[in-house]
Amino acid sequence: MSPTALKQTALTVSSATAELITKILAQFPQAHIQPRSIPLTDEDISLEVILPMSMTDIYQAREWMYDLVIELQERYDVIIMASIIPPEGQATINPQ
């Protein structure tokens, strides 16, 4: 890949990442965003979004995130993995 193509790819990934993070924080200001500890080799952007919310709210947030990821993947032609998870230690099962 030529230096110009590499630069364009990096710019595209940076733009997609900036838009993704901006939209996540606009929707969920309390979010803590971090890189995934072990991204897959084909992922251009790989994030974990930690939300201190009930699991019901996290499930709804995941649906919102799914739509956002699809939108950005199509617009920027990148592969994005963004997971919404509860904080460590928070129960992942809703009590019935």
pTM of the predicted model, to two decimals? 0.85
**How many other CB atoms sit within 10 Å of the CB of residue 39?**
14
Q: Residue 92 in contact with residue 55, Cβ under 8 Å? A: yes
Residues 6+ apart with CB under 8 A from 24: 31, 33, 49, 65, 68, 82
pLDDT digits (tens, 9 = 90+) for 26-67: 999 999 999 988 777 889 999 999 999 999 999 999 999 999
Query: Positive or negative CA dihedral for 48, 49, 51, 54?
Result: negative
